[in-house]
Amino acid sequence: MTDIWVVLIKIVLALVWFFVLTLYLTWAERKESAVIQDRVGANRARILGMTVIGLFQPIADAIKMFFKEDFVPAFSRKALHTIAPFVSFFFVAITISAVPFGDDIRIGGKAISLQVFDANVGLLFVLAMLSLAIYGILISGWASNNRFALLGGMRGAAQLISYEVALGLSLVGLIMVFPSLRMSELVRAQGALLFGFLPKWGVFLQPLGFLVFFFAALAETKRVPFDMPEGESEIIGFFTEYGGLKWGLFMFTDFMEILIISTLLTSLYFGGWQVPWLGANGFSFPWGGAWHLAPWLVTVFQVAAFNVKVFFFCWLQILIRWTYPRFRYDQVMDLGWKLLVPLSLLNIVGTAVLLSL
């Protein structure tokens, strides 16, 4: 019974962290784009007369979405039209269960992992769930019974197929170096040191794989410069016939994907919760000396490091979205098939050669 309560508490904490941070990513994007465009940004929503640099804006947006009219076109396939945004939302939301937030902690002599679901194939689980989210986009485009929405859905499917190949292949080299598909083991394997001082993070062992994964993951989020399924300037988005809460779910799912990609980049290539030179008893510096810490303080450092890395990659993705112009559709396909896939194959061959030597 105790184990069930532990799992339930971990599920609640993980979802609260995931949804609250996703909600405030909408605020971060509006503020970051405002800074880039020399604007003030969202700052009107207030509680008790306080605006606090617009921090209440996401709450106001959520309230508006909940009470906005739910319009379903008469010519649409109503059941599928309704279920589509929930399909995308569910498959992206469930991926947070495989993300390790920190090392195991001991409470009452019992080891508890800071991870909801530590599966042997956790990495494959995350990739599979992210792939299934495309069904929501396909269903929404087809169920809308609108040729422009259908075109957006088809573009989304083509783009996902193109970049899923490069995304998967880019991880083969990483798995060759750290032979495991368990997310927690991949993070722990990066806790060693190279040359006595350099953290054994994936980005140092697989720099080419990291670049391929990063660009392929950006395409998976379907945002500028890879916003072919939405195509705001072309008015062909797969959610053309959506409004209210269901449109909000599609947008919320986009920001959830930003956060999931950031957690994957952090866990796979930047040591996850690992802090350079921090062990179970504190810091041991390569130049000599140590800083002993209590176990609870070590956990705080690790969880904080994980969050800082995730925040950085969220900021970076938003920066790219508001800095670079969008590609043409043929350029998106060429980048995936003619550049990223060959580079990922080259990375696999190079890694195999280096490991054999």
Q: What is the mean pLDDT of residues 16-24?
A: 97
- Give residues with Cβ within 8 angstroms of 278, minimum separation 6: 298, 301, 302
d(CA 18, CA 331): 33
Q: What is the mean pLDDT of residues 309-338?
A: 94
d(CA 136, CA 65): 19
DSSP string, 51-90: -GGGTTHHHHHHHHHHHS-----TTS-HHHHHHHHHHHHH
Domain layout of the chain by residue ranges: 64-356
Segment 172-218, tens digit of pLDDT: 999 999 999 999 999 999 999 998 899 999 999 999 999 999 999 99
Q: What is the mean pLDDT of residues 334-350?
A: 97
Q: What is the mean pLDDT of residues 42-63?
A: 87
Q: What is the mean pLDDT of residues 150-166?
A: 92
Does residue 270 contact residue 310 with C-beta atoms inside 8 Å? no
> What pLDDT is attached to residue 46?
84
Q: Report in angstroms the alpha-carbon separations of 178 from 158, 173, 185, 186, 350.
A: 31, 9, 8, 6, 15
Does residue 120 contact residue 182 with C-beta atoms inside 8 Å? yes
**With 90 as the cut, is the pLDDT of residue 58 above it?**
yes
Alpha-helix residue ranges (DSSP H) falling in 206-340 = 207-220, 244-269, 295-321, 329-334
**With 90 as the cut, is the pLDDT of residue 48 above it?**
no
**With 80 as the cut, is the pLDDT of residue 258 above it?**
yes
Name the pTM for this structure.
Answer: 0.95
**With 70 as the cut, is the pLDDT of residue 37 above it?**
yes
Indicate the SS3 state at residue 199: strand
The H-or-E segment that residue 282 falls in is strand 282-284
Segment 86-106, tens digit of pLDDT: 999 999 999 999 999 999 998
Does residue 228 contact residue 234 with C-beta atoms inside 8 Å? no
> What pLDDT is attached to residue 51?
80
Q: Which two tokens stand for residue 50?
A: 């306080």
Q: Report in angstroms the alpha-carbon separations of 307 from 18, 125, 219, 320, 323.
A: 11, 22, 23, 20, 24
DSSP string, 80-147: HHHHHHHHHHHHHHGGGGG---EEEEEETTEEEEE-S---TTHHHHHHHHHHHTHHHHHHHHHHTT-H
Does residue 357 contact residue 67 with C-beta atoms inside 8 Å? no
> What pLDDT is attached to residue 100?
96
- Local confidence band at 27 (pLDDT 50, 70, 90 cut-offs): very high
> What pLDDT is attached to residue 235?
67
Does residue 222 contact residue 159 with C-beta atoms inside 8 Å? yes
Neighbours of 206 (CB within 10 A): 26
Exposure string of 335-348, with b = 16+ CB inside 10 Å and e = fewer, is bbeeebbebbbebb
Q: Output helix, strand, coil percentages for the chain, rounded to the nearest 5.
A: 65, 5, 30
Does residue 262 contact residue 313 with C-beta atoms inside 8 Å? yes
How is residue 5 annotated by DSSP? H
- Lowest-pLDDT choice from 232-236, 271-275, 295-299: 232-236
If one compares 142 and 52, the residue with the highest pLDDT of the two is 142
| Residues found in the chain | 357
- Strand-pair category, 198-199 with 193-194: antiparallel
Exposure string of 114-125, with b = 16+ CB inside 10 Å and e = fewer, is bbbbbbeebbeb
The per-residue pLDDT of the chain, averaged, comes to 93
Q: Is 169 exposed, middle or buried (0-12, 13-18, 19+ CB in 10 A)?
A: buried
> What pLDDT is attached to residue 1?
52
Work out the angle between the directed axes of helices 2-36 and 57-67 (0-180°, nearest 10): 110
Cα angle for residues 246, 19, 311 (degrees, 5° grid): 125
